Structure 1
């Protein structure tokens, strides 16, 4: 779309008012119904509980000491905990002010945290700023969280309106323009405008949404939307036609969530003339969430994703309304108000205004999916013995939030994970730097993959897999050529095949077949688990369950020797966590080999 066409649409846009959020724009009626409706009672109770926790606490300070920790040590958590606590405080008092307008003390606390956020040196996180930045041009930088903050404040201005003081309203307008709109128009283009991942959707989507709410000049709004629309095209290029988010479900929630929040406001203000959800590819992306869950709240958590995910019900219900074949999630998967450690306003608010009453199943229905562009096979299986899940992946080792994990797999049953993906580790400077693949959760050493001549898979687009066969039917099957995933002199062929037998107690058969020029110095089949393994006898290993017997792993003890090692890593929240490697060392090495393992649920 060119600027002139966009300008014509902008001139005819509907006015900015509360009908963007509430039926007929009647906020009082909406919140009155919310208080008496059962649909939002859990959310409202959690918001009130947060207010009780915050009562009597002062606004935490974002001190220079906290700000400088990242540049000195590479650690992000210290500053970010306080930053996100301030956002949690903001969200809580906004929602209480909407739910309980008769309490003036709530509005006073809200105005104080709004003023404090306007006072912040920068809305960016230290990890997203150049090491050599200076105070004179601090506002030229726009990251995920600065753009989110500007979007949040723009929504708060509209939602609270004249209940906020004139001085505070004018200051918020000034700060959003100073920190968001002017830099975006005068200092761009930014790298994230052409990113094919969540940064494009979150940054551009937040700026575009904020502009739709607060920019009155048609020319300026058109300039912002033109850039935002282009960024959204780049974001969508990051998806194949199968709709899979290679960054994982957590980043689907994040990036596609902000894409949706922006798209909804754009569609509403343009009276449907600009509607991203008319595209089948967008609808296919909307269906990704239901394809990720393998067992209860456990998901196929490839890439930087956590193993268990709870659902933003507002976003999910909205997508089910605007896209065909999007399933409403089981109510048990609802994310509590405090679940988002980043305390993002946009999804929390939409959990309140977009969640609707309706019929939800107690669990996702059994289903198997093969996603050809991502090269993921995902299976959710239910029998009289319980619910079970299996997922495996191909792809390449230059994916967004990449892990060197081609041929890796996950196995779950009855609510427990047996073959694990460690997921995302603690984000530090080194985590996104030269040391990324030293972290077990990122390097192939922390995945269920072969170790050849002591070497792991390498990062880069050249290190890739080829899908030789895939089937998601009576039995789920995936066969991958992993030869190009390694840079090992002498490796001529490595074929990994999975067969997932969906029986009452399901069974996974894994076979690795290799061909080598000469004889490899060593060959180890590694499997990763959080379960403390027990060797029953040579050839049989038990991965015990907490509430069930678990999984029995069988192998040829004449071909391989088992070594069990315990490891430690720091998860995404900075907590130390144990994992076990099951290393099966090949005893008699040859130019060709075939290694078979069976994982049998008991």
Structure 2
């Protein structure tokens, strides 16, 4: 689409008013219903509880000491905890002001935090700024969180309107223009405008949404939308036709969430002339959430994703309305108000205005999916013995938020994980730098994969797998050629196959077959778990459950010998966590090998 076409649409756009959010634009009626109906009572009580926590606390300071920690040590958590606490404070008082419009002290607290955010040196995080940035041009930098902040403040202006002072309204307009719109138009293009991952959707989507709410000049709005629409095309290129998000479900929530918030405002203001959800690929992406859950709140958490995910009900219900066959999640998976440690306003607000009444199933229905572009096999199995999950992946080792994990798998049952994916670690400078694959959660040493001649998989597009066979039927099967995942001179062939038998107590059969030029110096089959393995006798060991017996692992004790080692890593929230490597060392090495392991739920 060219600028002239966009300009014509912009000139005919519907006015900016509360009908973008509320039926007939009646905010008073909406919040009265929200207070009296049962749909949002838990959400509202959580918001009020957060307000009680904040009562009497001063606005935390974003000091120079906090700001400089990242440049000195590479640690992000210290500054970001305070930054996100300020966003939580903003969100809480916005929602309380909407729910309780007759309480002037709430509005006063809201105006104070709005003013404080306008005072911030930058809305970017230190980790997203160049080390040698200059204060004189700090506003030229735009990251995820500066974009989100501008979008948030633009929505708050519309939602609160003249209840905010004229000075504060004018200052917010000024700050959003100088920190977002002017840099975007004058200093771009930015690298994230052509990113094929969440940055394109969040940054461009937030700027486009903020512009749709606050830019009055048609030519300026058309210029911004021209760039944001192009960025969205790049974002969608990061998905295959199967709709899988290679960054994991958390980043689907994030990136596709902001894509949706922007798309909704764009569609509403353009009276449907600009509607991304008319595209089949977008509809497929909308289905990804329901394909990612394997057992309760546990998900196929490949890449930088946490093992358990709670869902944004607002986003989920919206997608179920606009896309055929998108399932509404079980109510037990609702994310509480305080669950998002980044305290993002857009999803929290839409959890209030987009959540709908209706009966949800108690759990996701049993289903199996093969996602061919991502090369993921994901299965939810339900029997009289309980619910069970299995997921395995191929792909390549240059994916967004990449882990070296080709051939890795996850196994869960009755709410517990037995074959684990460590997920995302603590984000630091080195985590996204040269030392990334020294972290167990990122390198193949922390995944259920072979170690060949002491060597792990390597990062890069050339280190890839090939799907030889896949089926998601009565039994789920996946066969992968992993030969190209390793840079081992003598390795001629490595084929890994999974067969997931969906019986009352299911079992997984894993077979690795290899050919080698000569004889490998060593060959180890590694499995990763949070359960402490218990050796029963040669050929059998147990991954114990908390409430059940767990999973029995059987192997040929004449071919391999087990070794159990305890490790520690720091998870995404900076907490130290134990994991176990269950290493099976091949005893009689040869030019060919066939290694079989069975994981049987008890």
Short-chain TM bin:
over 0.9
SS at 2:505 equivalent = coil
The superposition leaves residues 35-85 of structure 1 with CA deviations (integer Å, 9 ceiling, x where unpaired) of 011110110000000000000000000000000000000000000000000
Give distance in 2, aligned partners of 1:34 and 1:239: 37
In structure 2, list runs of 5 or more residues that go unmatched: none
Give distance in 1, aligned partners of 2:533 and 2:448: 15
The superposition leaves residues 349-404 of structure 1 with CA deviations (integer Å, 9 ceiling, x where unpaired) of 00000000012000000000000000000000000000000000000000000000
Give distance in 2, aligned partners of 1:368 and 1:583: 29
Give distance in 1, aligned partners of 2:225 and 2:5: 12
The superposition leaves residues 546-567 of structure 1 with CA deviations (integer Å, 9 ceiling, x where unpaired) of 0111000000111001100000
Deviation at 1:453, TM superposition (A): 0.2
The superposition leaves residues 221-240 of structure 1 with CA deviations (integer Å, 9 ceiling, x where unpaired) of 00000000000000000000
Give distance in 2, aligned partners of 1:153 and 1:432: 30
The superposition leaves residues 478-518 of structure 1 with CA deviations (integer Å, 9 ceiling, x where unpaired) of 00000000000100000000000000000000000000000
RMSD (Å) for aligned C-alpha atoms: 0.2
2:56 matched to which residue of 1?
Answer: 56
Give distance in 1, aligned partners of 2:337 and 2:247: 24
Give distance in 1, aligned partners of 2:476 and 2:118: 54
Deviation at 1:476, TM superposition (A): 0.1
SS at 1:60 equivalent = coil
SS at 1:56 equivalent = coil
Deviation at 1:446, TM superposition (A): 0.1
Give distance in 1, aligned partners of 2:561 and 2:546: 27
Give distance in 1, aligned partners of 2:453 and 2:42: 54
> With structure 1 as the length reference, what TM-score do the two structures score?
1.00
2:7 matched to which residue of 1?
Answer: 7
Give distance in 2, aligned partners of 1:276 and 1:310: 26
Deviation at 1:12, TM superposition (A): 0.2
1:121 matched to which residue of 2?
Answer: 121
SS at 1:203 equivalent = helix
SS at 1:117 equivalent = helix
Give distance in 2, aligned partners of 1:350 and 1:121: 29
Give distance in 1, aligned partners of 2:285 and 2:107: 39
1:137 matched to which residue of 2?
Answer: 137
SS at 1:480 equivalent = strand
1:108 aligns with 2:96: no
Deviation at 1:164, TM superposition (A): 0.1
SS at 1:202 equivalent = helix
2:438 matched to which residue of 1?
Answer: 438
Give distance in 2, aligned partners of 1:540 and 1:49: 50
Give distance in 2, aligned partners of 1:561 and 1:463: 29
Give distance in 1, aligned partners of 2:374 and 2:359: 31
- How many residues in Structure 1 have an aligned counterpart in Structure 2? 602
Give distance in 2, aligned partners of 1:519 and 1:43: 62
Runs of 4+ deviating beyond 3 Å: none
SS at 1:405 equivalent = coil
Deviation at 1:283, TM superposition (A): 0.3
SS at 2:178 equivalent = helix
The superposition leaves residues 193-246 of structure 1 with CA deviations (integer Å, 9 ceiling, x where unpaired) of 000000000000000000000000000000000000000000000000000000
SS at 2:568 equivalent = strand
1:409 matched to which residue of 2?
Answer: 409
The superposition leaves residues 444-480 of structure 1 with CA deviations (integer Å, 9 ceiling, x where unpaired) of 0000000000000000000000000000000000000
Give distance in 2, aligned partners of 1:157 and 1:125: 23
SS at 2:304 equivalent = coil
Deviation at 1:260, TM superposition (A): 0.0
Give distance in 2, aligned partners of 1:532 and 1:491: 32
The superposition leaves residues 313-368 of structure 1 with CA deviations (integer Å, 9 ceiling, x where unpaired) of 00000000000010000000000000000000000000000000012000000000
Give distance in 1, aligned partners of 2:499 and 2:30: 51
Give distance in 1, aligned partners of 2:469 and 2:40: 46
Give distance in 1, aligned partners of 2:38 and 2:23: 19
1:190 aligns with 2:186: no
Deviation at 1:417, TM superposition (A): 0.1
In structure 1, list runs of 5 or more residues that go unmatched: none
Deviation at 1:295, TM superposition (A): 0.1
Give distance in 2, aligned partners of 1:434 and 1:46: 41
SS at 1:479 equivalent = strand
Deviation at 1:415, TM superposition (A): 0.2
Give distance in 2, aligned partners of 1:205 and 1:374: 24
Give distance in 2, aligned partners of 1:23 and 1:413: 43
The superposition leaves residues 294-323 of structure 1 with CA deviations (integer Å, 9 ceiling, x where unpaired) of 000000000000000000000000000000
Give distance in 2, aligned partners of 1:538 and 1:161: 72
Give distance in 2, aligned partners of 1:451 and 1:255: 34
Deviation at 1:597, TM superposition (A): 0.1
The superposition leaves residues 266-294 of structure 1 with CA deviations (integer Å, 9 ceiling, x where unpaired) of 00000000000000000000000000000
